Amino acid sequence: MSNKLSNNFNDVLSLIEQAKNRVNVYVNKELMNLYIGIGEYVSKKVDADGWGKNTVKMLADFLIEKYPDVKGFSAQNIWRMKQFYETYRADEKLSTLSRELSWSNNCIIFSRVKTAEEREFYLKIAKMERYSARELERQIDSSLFERVAISDAKKSLGLIPASETLGSIRDNYMLEFLSLQEGFKEKDLRKQIVSNLKQFVLEFGKDFVFVGEEYRVQVGNEDFYIDLVFFHRELSCLVAFELKIDKFKPEHIGKMNFYLEALDRDVKKDKENPSIGVILCTDKDEDVVKYALSRNISPTLVAEYKTKLIDKSILQRKLHEFYELAQSDKVLEGIE
């Protein structure tokens, strides 16, 4: 088969796949409308006619008898439909967002997440990143909402760059899936990231496309190697990662600037935006980072990573401290 014919056939295949995706979206919305409708009906019957577990079990048996090949009509699932309807009936915004996700993902969010703000966050990001149920559970387990909120709070306080270029990259990440042994080295960290590339990209965002590890750039007669290089589709630029197994140091900035200059001069395509850098370290002092980046003209972010899950209450307390700090700053601005 010629290349031209192969391309033509692939075009037709693409049309079919697009149609299938549209059908799946439509079917999912209709399924969600059905489940919410059943939930509303049962909820009203419980209030008006005193329906209880036995009646709902009879309803489930009746539906299963009528539709033996259709899953989802168990008594337990009908109670979930009722709870789901009651959870979102007073919030049109969340009710609308929920129709964009699968029933399994919706069940995870409304059963595990308690506040409206947090639910809205997970509804939006699950749709944007197309999380499977397993991926969504991992993000909730790793307190993604709190970690993103902390990163945003730092930006608003000027503790980390808030430029448009770096806006979609956080300053904290959870890499517990790497299963690193105590006393690991930078090469171990790099190799484990490459071996677990799918999970790494899920943690950072699906717009990251892997380019290479120990990516070689030549300057003069010398070769230099960047730990990891990705391409970010939304930002349309190369992203260089420097991996550190200790606390951030100001001298890390100079090395990253050198790498970014080499990428922009010799690798970046004309239509792409300037490369950005992420220095990934185990710990950092916010003041040291702020001073180190204050005169830095290259778009660089110092991000922190943890290899073990952090207790959610610790992150919530830290977030509360940032909120209090932001509030005190506003008060001081008013006095001035």
- What is the spatial distance between Cα 203 and Cα 188, in angstroms, rounded to a whole number? 19
CATH topology of domain 161-311: Trna Endonuclease; Chain: A, domain 1 (3.40.1350)
Q: How many CB atoms lie within 10 A of CB 32?
A: 19
Residue range(s) in the chain whose domain bears CATH number 3.40.1350.10: 161-311
C-alpha torsion angle, residues 111, 99, 75, 80 (rounded to 10): 20
Q: Which two tokens stand for residue 206?
A: 């699906």
C-alpha torsion angle, residues 128, 134, 140, 145 (rounded to 10): -10
Residue percentage of the chain with pLDDT more than 90: 56
Tell me, what's the pLDDT at 331?
39
Tell me, what's the pLDDT at 187?
92
- What is the spatial distance between Cα 115 and Cα 281, in angstroms, rounded to a whole number? 32
Tell me, what's the pLDDT at 333?
47
Tell me, what's the pLDDT at 60?
93
Tell me, what's the pLDDT at 149?
87
Note the pLDDT tens digit of each residue in 162-207: 565 676 788 889 999 998 888 899 999 999 999 999 999 889 888 8
